[in-house]
Structure 1
């Protein structure tokens, strides 16, 4: 074991880079659908050992941090490449137009995201120490990197480290206290702790016992809190409210054709009215029917025939929530929105929401003048070109709890899930993961929707074109669902919302407070061990 540890620390050149890359790629197994979170107990100690050896032969200032940044980049590149390869499937929907872009996108996005981990490891090395305190340095550095990844340049907090706790219902419940960023902070300490068992003899005794005790306490507290919270989960569903989710599994390449538009509406109406068993009455049994993102591939407000068909199909008292694009303005200044409409049984639009957090390159083109010049104009014209809406909004209807709407990947942003001034009683998440086929992407998307339910203490009703559609309770548990690629419906009662969780009330303050504590602990450990960290 000592020979292995020394080989990792002293590795150099391409062997060092490949070791970081492989460790990062293996770390991606912690995310859905594999959910092998325990692998992080192996890969994070490797990262610590690599950072132990990330010492510049010469140089001062920023140059001293370059080896740590290189390790962080290769570890991150492996992690994101292995975890996000499925994004390439979107470019194969119309391969004759976008297929040539796939290799570049599959590599470019992980390479760009890895820059955050490079910065995080450089920050960690800045306050690195030669003992147990370096776990605090790693936690502070990587958590800062993950938070920045979720906020800078519109943000992309996909597969955060803390999301690995979502592999099991019981370990995910702490998100109600500290959120996924707080789980990231604690997770870095816990997952890296095994390195303390294989530290060099001269490193032992510098807080080693206390750090191992802290890691053990965090694990026990997480499990204990989860067991207690789930043990008390006895809230009955809301009386008199029932949900039907339609999942048609319409092929993405056919959906937007002229003949496919009417077929899409007819398919949704048929599913919504279908009988799923001897005791069901089809749509007559449901107070709310939910269709996915852009379920209607046309401008609903400009299609009186479609509104009439919906009005004819909806029984009295039924509310339809459906995705559809929206246009406003004249031909000279027309704007388009990715929207959700709420329609009553008369086919009247009683509420709407415009997606605020758009997907770069999918729904809009960043830096359009520059990128259009290199041939990317057609991408945004074909896939999107939407205008962002104003942000979270709560829609109300008499006789039912108000609900918030999140379209597609808006559900992955922890701090923007609901309107804080007008808290809803449940969340409707509509999406079209059909772009990504039967890859890992839809599973990871669902996992993040479950995490938002836990953080907010709100049930989530998720409608996806090709799956995975589900009714999720406020503890993140899936009550009913329909598998990826299947066509059908999901029926169920609406779970009761919980009171606002500590994270919903004080989430940012709790996270910032914990982060400062960890950073101060890392700096203090560095100060106590000054003069030893860069020697062997």
Structure 2
């Protein structure tokens, strides 16, 4: 009897049903996510899940068990979404009990495809069990791809993020993302954790897979940190309270704080070509159209480029959540409008009949864009939520020299949310082979090299300034070139290999 089965035998009889067991297995799987990183649990959870799916007795039952697993997994993995409701409890108190369960309810459906793939395989011999592992891993990747694009997309709680822990081993284990993105990390995780289903030989095969995986990562990072450019980046982390006051005195105080931190950042950075970054919506002024605000920045920064989060009023009268580049007293030299808006927070999806977003929401920008700001390397901006979308964050026709993610994670407090967001954003650097600079209002701010190596951070709930040299980009990676197509191919052919094993299994029966 496996350790999981022994534990299940101690549970009260009314909770021993396999639906409850799969729900509990999902909860256990979630503790492998950042910031817990209790990865060994997966080597017991995945075989236990595959065993229960194999004896489901019918495809509807298998789909139900898969959903129960997904619900438990996402319920614990997404509990942080209630934090904004708690911050604004006077208006949204009614949503607190429903936010995380409702989102977990929806995302749990993405576990049905892997569950059905496993159920379709009779696990009566070693070939059948291997087929189940392969089909589960491949289907999980394809399901993750669907999760990125369907219903506006929400690519969160992917198993590949489980390997973003600190240290040389963690750095090595995330390197396959350069080939197949976070999806390949998920595929390898599901394979390695599922192989113990085959018994002792499976445990040995899992160990070999992990050794080869780590070896590839250590070889790819053996040269050490990427070389540095001559550009110094200064990141402002003001730690403004949210939602904050919108009275004139409060906005003026916020503006003075922005300018004071900018002056302090330039003093600390010293001489040289510097770049100053303000986080998402840091500016209370509309920088694109407010000449007086740009002049105030120029009085502090001179001709040093300032890349600032700001609202922007477009020519059609729509409001945008933007990054505006200011350089000297003249007009804004460039801007970028966020195009992946947060559903219900920043806009209401078209398929929802009622407009529930406060103030009517924002209008999305046209898509990924590379900004060419005079005097600094070309930059690919990302605003908050956009950094969680692998493979679609850069302009494929105009590859930037670095990525910049500005955000405001103060809405999620000191929960798992900011840590998970940082882990996922870090993987974008590995996938694209590009350094990424992360500047948030309340942390975690960081400078990250193109291998995912963190060069410097400023932690949660701290006000301050982070200064670092901008690393040099790597040549375009396979994932950077082929995007999610590469991930889809890997997932599909893993399933094909699973079908081959299934045919062998049937032949041997």
Q: 1: CA distance between counterparts of 2:122 and 2:269?
A: 62
**Alpha-carbon contact 1:124-1:141 (below 8 Å) kept:** no
**Alpha-carbon contact 2:437-2:448 (below 8 Å) kept:** yes
Q: Name the structure 1 match of 2:504.
A: 528
Q: Name the structure 2 match of 1:474.
A: 450
**Alpha-carbon contact 1:275-1:281 (below 8 Å) kept:** yes
Q: 1: CA distance between counterparts of 2:506 and 2:394?
A: 46
What SS class does the counterpart of residue 274 from structure 1 fall into?
A: helix
Cα deviation, residue 165, structure 1: 2.2
Q: Name the structure 1 match of 2:313.
A: 327
Q: 2: CA distance between counterparts of 1:184 and 1:22?
A: 21
Q: Name the structure 2 match of 1:404.
A: 380
Q: Name the structure 1 match of 2:139.
A: 141
Q: 2: CA distance between counterparts of 1:3 and 1:359?
A: 41
Residue 139 and residue 294 in structure 1: after superposition, are their counterparts in 2 closer, same or farther (change >3 A)? Answer: same
Q: Name the structure 1 match of 2:171.
A: 169
Are 1:357 and 2:340 matched, yes or no?
yes
Q: What whole-Å deviation, never above 9, does each CA across 1:363-382 have from its counterpart, x for those lacking one? A: 1012476234xxxx3xx125
What SS class does the counterpart of residue 405 from structure 1 fall into?
A: strand
Q: What whole-Å deviation, never above 9, does each CA across 1:392-439 have from its counterpart, x for those lacking one? A: 111113443211001101111111121111100000100111111111
Q: 2: CA distance between counterparts of 1:283 and 1:65?
A: 65
**Alpha-carbon contact 2:311-2:319 (below 8 Å) kept:** yes
Q: Name the structure 2 match of 1:61.
A: none
Show the 5 A alignment for 1:52-451: 52-55=54-57, 64-127=58-121, 129-130=123-124, 131-167=129-165, 168-197=170-199, 209=201, 214-239=205-230, 241-274=231-264, 281=268, 287-316=274-303, 318-329=304-315, 334-346=317-329, 348-367=331-350, 370-372=353-355, 377=356, 380-382=357-359, 385-451=361-427
Q: What whole-Å deviation, never above 9, does each CA across 1:140-192 have from its counterpart, x for those lacking one? A: 22222211111111111112111212221111111112211112122211111
What SS class does the counterpart of residue 221 from structure 2 fall into?
A: helix
Q: 2: CA distance between counterparts of 1:360 and 1:128?
A: 41
Cα deviation, residue 530, structure 1: 4.2
What SS class does the counterpart of residue 529 from structure 1 fall into?
A: helix
RMSD of aligned Cα (Å): 2.5
Q: 1: CA distance between counterparts of 2:114 and 2:344?
A: 26
Cα deviation, residue 527, structure 1: 3.0
Q: 2: CA distance between counterparts of 1:369 and 1:410?
A: 21
Residue 4 and residue 336 in structure 1: after superposition, are their counterparts in 2 closer, same or farther (change >3 A)? Answer: closer
For normalisation by structure 1, the TM-score amounts to 0.87
Structure 1, unmatched stretches of 5+, are 56-63, 199-208
Cα deviation, residue 286, structure 1: 5.8
Cα deviation, residue 509, structure 1: 4.4
For normalisation by structure 2, the TM-score amounts to 0.91
Residue 381 and residue 408 in structure 1: after superposition, are their counterparts in 2 closer, same or farther (change >3 A)? Answer: same
Cα deviation, residue 451, structure 1: 0.2
**Alpha-carbon contact 1:403-1:425 (below 8 Å) kept:** yes
**Alpha-carbon contact 2:130-2:498 (below 8 Å) kept:** no
What SS class does the counterpart of residue 404 from structure 1 fall into?
A: strand
Q: Which moved more, 1:167-176 or 1:266-275?
A: 266-275
What SS class does the counterpart of residue 288 from structure 2 fall into?
A: helix
Cα deviation, residue 212, structure 1: 5.5
What SS class does the counterpart of residue 183 from structure 1 fall into?
A: helix
